[in-house]
A and B are shown apart, each in its own frame.
Chain A
């Protein structure tokens, strides 16, 4: 395996190296490879959007980052040191890396007041000195101002956007360094969506928070992210800055996702992939995308089409100077000393 291309960026606050997460499957004989060799690094104050269809493993990757699932192999590295899965180490990790879930109505206990909901995390972590001030500060940071007006309310007395702000305040009450947000706005109304996204941007600007935002929504990436990682069937298939990936996509899967954005017709023809994300218990051999790939279907005559069937494209490194795409038809990742064996994952 080649080493990731080094960049001059400072040490990432959170990264994963060759991470694999598998789940035993009830039906299939082989386990589901939900996350199948992923490298990703999140810099301080960076916002990465992790984009993919349901079942592609993006939520599992998010949960692995928080330490909620144990990887089968590979590492989660926080502030330079590998995450250990002992109870005390996990507790510390989960204080600094906070998970924000999709559906705020489901994440908030309907019988607790806003004060108790936000104070729950600090209480669990023994941060009970000045708890009242801590809760007030967190609510203010989450944009619920003045906080006193919200302390005694119950979730059903809040709008969807306000509920999601309470969830975020609950995370902020623990002074985290990273927010991992799994579809933070997909259950919100259009007007609240923009407000919550702006909050995530503000938190980065004011508190220096890093965030990994999991979504199926490319517009969200355009709105708030610095980099985009496109995930397909357990693997990151394209990685780069928002401008590189969304304006000049190179992987055929990213191109297909961009072509189906509703209402964005005229720029490119619609590329409708047939079927839904295939089964992670039976990942196709070769390039995992080739059975649905429009480029592969079109380039049957090209000698490289046989690579698509037989060779797994190289796993993308976490950092590089330019955008990367795990596709045999895209100019491969090439370092000066590399001769012409770019597809090193399966050597010829």
Chain B
């Protein structure tokens, strides 16, 4: 092994390329490290799912792509969109990229839509702002967008409160598509929705991403939701990606114990291993104000080894097209027996990238 490979599939030129992205918030005199060095690549027509629990940094990560974070956030690293770094663009260029190039579907359509404006007004607004089109043409576009997301054009004159939750989420998707972006970021697009409606929305996202060759980044805490839509999965823990790989392989054979725990949390019906045996993960997520020593997952890990409290490795090849930051992907640790680590761990030995 020569070093960690970039977190990427093979294929055409990257649409979005994130390298060594770090985000910290100043809270009083402390600094909260929400994102601690993330690298990945998304190509056209590819759907990447980012999984993680609250506090894992997944929302901060995607908000930073479009410079949507508050001024208290310090962002370093690079987010290249078609080769151009979004983090150093001037504001006029950022505004042009938002909507027209890359758009976002927020969670909670109820609060993201303006309650006192009609659906037509809200979809037409970005079209008129970004393109030289007349009001009538923009409205016709809005009608066809609603049609694309499975809503009748008559809904243009409705207010958000007149729509059901699923219909509102469809409007959010129509708005994200309004200016023909080639990248869509969807932050928990189905959280507040009912099961049947969730299935409808996931189907819609899948169809749209496939038919328009849009790059899609979708966030959720539920790996099975991501698996419905995404080709690749990235699992986040404590501000960094701990595993990434093709969806089917990650689900069938996770290479990081945290991915395994997330997968087990939502049982497969019919699987005797989970019948009357809910799988949780004891302990709490790490405190983001502290810099972890060793692997941040070690305190909650069921297969922890002494070395885990000492080393934290970067994403490392773990099979074809797969990467994991678990020490066990290194051959020298693959078969080591798990141990119970005493509360007072060994002295810190900082060593990055141990490898063969």
Stretch of A70-78, A255-263, A317-325 that contacts chain B = A255-263
Residues of B within 8 A of A190 (CB): 53, 221-222, 261-262, 265-266, 281
Q: Which residue of B lies closest to A265 (CB)?
A: B228
CB distance from B302 to the nearest CB of A (A): 12
- Given A190-B262, A224-B276, A246 and B269 touching (CB < 8 A)? yes
A107 within 8 A of B: no
Q: Which residue of A lies closest to B190 (CB)?
A: A262
B261 and A273 within 8 A (CB): no
The 8 A CB mask of B32-76 against A (1 = contact, 0 = none) is 000000000000000000000110000000000000000000000
B53 and A191 within 8 A (CB): yes
B227 within 8 A of A: yes
CB distance from A105 to the nearest CB of B (A): 12
Q: What's the Cα separation between A346 and B194 when bound, in Å?
A: 32
Q: What's the Cα separation between A328 and B217 when bound, in Å?
A: 44
CB distance from B341 to the nearest CB of A (A): 19
B269 and A262 within 8 A (CB): no
- Given A54-B194, A190-B262, A219-B267, A262 and B221 touching (CB < 8 A)? no
B221 and A189 within 8 A (CB): yes
A272 and B276 within 8 A (CB): no
The 8 A CB mask of B272-298 against A (1 = contact, 0 = none) is 001111111110110000000000000
A261 and B269 within 8 A (CB): yes
A191 and B280 within 8 A (CB): yes
- Given A201-B276, A262-B228, A193 and B265 touching (CB < 8 A)? yes
Q: What's the Cα separation between A246 and B200 when bound, in Å?
A: 21
The 8 A CB mask of A195-237 against B (1 = contact, 0 = none) is 1111001000000000000001111001110000000000000
Q: What's the Cα separation between A159 and B281 when bound, in Å?
A: 13
- Given A160-B54, A191-B53, A216-B194, A262 and B224 touching (CB < 8 A)? yes
Q: What's the Cα separation between A262 and B276 when bound, in Å?
A: 21
Within 8 A of A (CB), among B252-274: 261-262, 264-271, 274
CB distance from A185 to the nearest CB of B (A): 9
Within 8 A of B (CB), among A159-205: 159-160, 189-198, 201
Residue count of chain B within 8 Å CB distance of chain A? 44
A276 within 8 A of B: yes
A264 within 8 A of B: yes
- Given A159-B284, A276-B164, A257 and B195 touching (CB < 8 A)? yes
- Given A191-B281, A223-B277, A276 and B196 touching (CB < 8 A)? yes
B128 within 8 A of A: no
Within 8 A of A (CB), among B84-103: none
B269 and A258 within 8 A (CB): yes
A194 and B280 within 8 A (CB): yes
Residues of B within 8 A of A159 (CB): 284-285
Residues of A participating in the B interface, judged by any CB pair closer than 8 Å: 53-54, 159-160, 189-198, 201, 216-219, 222-224, 242, 246-247, 256-258, 260-265, 270, 272-273, 276-277
Given contacts A197-B278, A265-B228, A276-B164, 5 further A-B contacts (CB under 8 A): A189-B53, A190-B221, A194-B264, A195-B280, A222-B269
| 23 pairs from A and B in contact (CB 8 Å cutoff) | A53-B196, A54-B194, A160-B54, A189-B54, A190-B53, A190-B222, A190-B261, A191-B300, A201-B276, A219-B266, A219-B268, A222-B267, A222-B271, A223-B276, A246-B269, A246-B270, A257-B196, A262-B224, A263-B223, A272-B200, A272-B203, A276-B194, A277-B194
